A and B are shown apart, each in its own frame.
Chain A
Amino acid sequence: MLELRGVTKRFGGVVATDNVALEVAQGEVHALIGPNGAGKTTLIGQISGSLQTDVGTVRFLEKDVTALRQHERVRLGLARSYQITSIFRRFTVLDNLALAVQARSGSSFSFWRPVAAEAALFDEARAISGEIGLAGRLGVTAGNLAHGEQRALEVGLALATRPRFVLLDEPMAGMGPEESQRMIALIGRIRASVTVLLVEHDMDAVFRLADRITVLVSGRVIASGRPAEIRADKDVRRAYLGDELAA
C-alpha cells in the first residue's frame, strides 16, 4: 500500500533521512522505531507530504505521490497524527471532530448555510468520539482536556478523515500506563479497517501490535522484519533495543 524508495531529506548540512526504503502492506500494523533524533518524525513528514523529499519516491496505492501536497494525499486516504499535540485548542471536542468530518464530506466553499444545521456532521463526530473514548467529553474545550484525552483526540482527528492509511507519530507520548493500554486497545480496534504505520518508543505496545517492524538509526534503515527477527537482530540490540529489553 505504501512504498518508499531512496527517500532522503537534508536540512542544511544534516542528513535527516538517508536513502530510506520501506514497504507497508495493506492491513498491516507496521512499527517504526529508533532512538531519538533518528529521523522518524522527518520521515513521517515526508510520507504525509508536509515535508518535501529531496531525493527518492513515495508511492501510495500504486501511485507516485512524491510531488503531491499534504492535503492532496489526505484526499487519497493518507492521514497522520502528530507527536506534539496539534488540535484546535479553542474548539470543543465535538467541533474538533466535526471539522475533520466536514473536511472530507463535501465542499467547504459554502458561505451561507450554517454548519450547525448539518446534523449528519455532528452525528458522525459523536460516533468517532465514542471510538476514541471521548464520548462523554464532547462539550469540553480541547485545550482543557487531560493530556491523555488530548492524545486520543489527536488520533481521533486523523481517523475522522476516514483514511485508508494512518501515520501515528508517538500516539502514546507522555501517557501513563492506563492511558497507554487504552490507546493500544484503540489501535487494536482500528487495524481492521485502516493500515497503520506506528512510530513509538513504548516497546510493549510495539511488540504487541506490530506485524512488522522497521528500525531507523541516524536516518538509515538498519533492519526491517517480523518482531521476533528484530528482537534477535544484533545490530538493533546494539543500536537501540539492548538497554530497552534488559528488563
Chain B
Amino acid sequence: MRKALCITLVLIAFPVAMQWLGYLFYVSFASRVMIYAIAATSLNLVLGYGGMLSFGHAAFVGAGAYVASILVAEGVASAWIGWPAAVAASALLAWVIGAISLRTRGVYFIMITLAVAQMMFYLVNSMKAYGGDEGLTLPRRAELGLGLDLGDEVVFYYVVLFVLLAALYALHRVVHSRFGRVMIAIRENGARVEALGLPVYRYQLLCFVIAGAAGGLAGALLASHGKYVNPNVLHWLQSGTLMIMVILGGVGHLWGGAIGAAVLLGLEHVIADYPLPWLAQVAPNYQQHASLGVGIVLLVIVLFAPQGIAGLISRRKNA
C-alpha cells in the first residue's frame, strides 16, 4: 500500500518535473504508456485473474478507438459522449464474442478469439469511409469541458493518470470481491466451481465483458492521444503485444499490466532513440531489429520467470 502511494506521488509529480526541465515530449510519451497500461490491465483481468487466454483483446481496444474516433470525425467532440460510447461498443462486442467463444475450451477458445479479432481487423480495414487501411486522422482530441483542455499535454496526462488509478483501484476491489474469488477459483479449477453450484459460463462472460469495456476505454484514450487510428490497432499482433506486456509485468498481479506496459514501451523507446555506439559497431542497424530483443526477452521470461517482474519482486520480498 505504501509502495502504491509512493508510485502515485511520483506519477503526479512527473509532469511538473518534466515541464520544469523542459522535456514536454516525455509527458506525452508517459500518457501513451499509461494508456497501454490501462489496456494491459484490462487484459490482466481476463487473462491473469480469469485464466481466459483471449488472443483477441486488441479487438476491444480497437473498437473503442474507432468508435471514439468516428464520433469526433463526425463532429461529436464531447468526450462525455464519445468515451462512454466507446466503452459501450466494446462491451457489446465483448458480449457477442464472449458468448460464442466461451462455449469452447482450451485451444479452441484461443483460436476463436484470435480469429474473431482478425475478422474485426478485416472488417475495419475495408471501411473505406473511415480511412480503410490508411487510417483515420482526427482534427482534434475529444473535449472534456470543465475548463480542461485535453489538447494540453499536461492536462491530458492527468486525465489519463486519473483513469489509470481508477482502473487499478477498481481491479483491486474486484479481485478481492466475491466475483473476484470466483474468477480466480475458475482459473484454478473450473469444473469444481460448477460443481459447487455456480454457472461458470456466466461468470466468465461477465468478466470478459468488463475487461472488454475497460479495453475500449483505453482505445478511446489512445485515439484521442494520437489523434489517429488505423486498423493495425486491431491486429492480432497487437493482441500479442498486450499479452507480452501482461506476462512481462506479471500475470495475475495488480500492477502487472502497468509494469509490463512501462517496461516494454520504455525499452522500445530507449532502443530506438538512444543508439549505443558500441552495439552499433557490432551489429549495425540493430535498432531496426528491436523485435529480436523483445522476442528473446519474452522467451526467457516465459521459460525462466513466468511470474514476470511483479512476481520476481514479490518473491524477493518473501525470501
Judged by a CB distance under 8 angstroms, whether B318 is at the interface is: no
Query: Which single member of A80, A102, A110 contacts B195 (CB below 8 Å)?
Result: A80
Distance in angstroms from A144 CB to nearest chain B CB is 15
Expressed in whole angstroms, the Cα–Cα distance for A246 and B192 within the complex equals 38
Q: In the complex, what residues of A have CB within 8 A of residue B180's CB?
A: 111, 115
Bound complex: CA A74 to CA B193 (Å): 11
Set A50, A99, A107: member contacting B191, Cβ < 8 A:
A50
Chain A residues, Cβ within 8 Å of B280: none
> How far is the CB of B181 from the nearest CB of chain A, in Å?
5
Query: What are the interface flags for A93-122 relative to B under an 8 Å C-beta threshold, 1 for contact and 0 otherwise?
Result: 001000110111011111111111000000
Q: Contact: A74 with B188, CB < 8 Å?
A: no
Contact A86 B178 (CB under 8 A): no
Q: Is the CB of B194 within 8 A of A108?
A: no
Q: Kindly report which residue of chain A lies nearest to residue B202, judged by CB atoms.
A: A109
CB-defined interface of B59-85 with A at 8 Å, one 1/0 digit per residue? 000000000000000000000000000
Alpha-carbon distance A114/B177, docked complex (angstroms): 4
Q: Which residues of B contact A125 (CB under 8 A)?
A: none
A109 & B196 in contact (Cβ 8 Å cutoff) = no
Is chain B's interface secondary structure helix, strand, loop, or mixed overall?
Answer: helix
Given contacts A88-B185, A90-B188, A114-B173, contact A79 B195 (CB under 8 A): yes
Given contacts A71-B199, A108-B203, A112-B173, contact A88 B192 (CB under 8 A): yes
Task: Determine whether the beta carbon of A102 is less than 8 Å from that of B178.
Answer: yes
In this assembly, does B138 line the interface, its C-beta being within 8 Å of a C-beta of chain A? Answer: no
Number of interface residues of B (CB under 8 A): 24
User: How far, in whole Å, are A88 and B203 apart by their CA atoms in the complex?
Assistant: 17
**B-chain residues with CB within 8 Å of residue A74 when the two chains form the complex:** 195-197
- Is A63 among interface residues, defined by CB-CB distance under 8 A? no
Which residue of B177, B179, B185, B199 contacts A99 across the interface (Cβ within 8 Å)?
B185
Q: Number of contact residues on A: which range applies?
A: 35 or more
The residue of chain B having its C-beta at the shortest distance from the C-beta of A163 within the complex is B197
- Within 8 Å by CB of B181, from A75, A99, A109, lies A99
Chain A contacts for B194, CB-based, 8 A: 50, 69-71
- B289 adjacent to chain A (CB < 8 Å): no
Q: Determine the residue in chain B with the shortest Cβ distance to A89.
A: B188
For A95, what are the chain B residues with a Cβ–Cβ distance below 8 Å? 181
A240 at the interface (CB under 8 A from B): no
Q: Is the CB of A111 within 8 A of B177?
A: yes
Determine the chain A residues whose CB is within 8 A of the CB of B188 once the complex forms.
Answer: 88-91
Do A99 and B196 form a contact, CB below 8 Å, given A87-B189, A110-B179? Answer: yes
Chain B minimum-CB-distance residue to A104:
B197
Write out the residue numbers on chain B whose beta carbons fall within 8 Å of the beta carbon of A103.
182, 193, 196-198
**Is B128 in the interface zone, CB < 8 Å from A?**
no
- A158 vs B195: C-alpha distance when bound (angstroms): 8
Nearest Cβ in chain A — how far from B98, in angstroms? Answer: 16
What B residues does A107 contact at CB under 8 A? 178
Q: How far is the CA of A103 from the CA of B203 in the complex (A)?
A: 12
Q: Are A108 and B189 in contact, with the CB atoms below 8 A?
A: no
The answer for the CA separation of A92 and B306 in the assembled complex, in Å, is 22
Contact of A69 with B191 in the complex, beta carbons under 8 Å: no
Residues of A within 8 A of B177 (CB): 110-115
Contacts of A46 in B (CB 8 A): none
A sample of 6 more A-B contacts (CB under 8 A), given A71-B195, A112-B177, A115-B176, is A74-B195, A82-B195, A86-B191, A89-B189, A110-B177, A115-B180
24 pairs, A vs B, C-beta closer than 8 Å: A50-B191, A69-B194, A70-B195, A71-B195, A71-B198, A74-B197, A75-B197, A99-B185, A103-B182, A104-B197, A108-B178, A108-B182, A108-B203, A110-B179, A111-B174, A112-B173, A112-B174, A114-B177, A115-B176, A115-B177, A115-B178, A115-B180, A116-B176, A157-B196
Which A residues are closer than 8 A to B by beta carbons?
A: 48, 50, 69-71, 74-75, 79-80, 82, 86-91, 95, 99-100, 102-104, 106-116, 157-158, 160-161
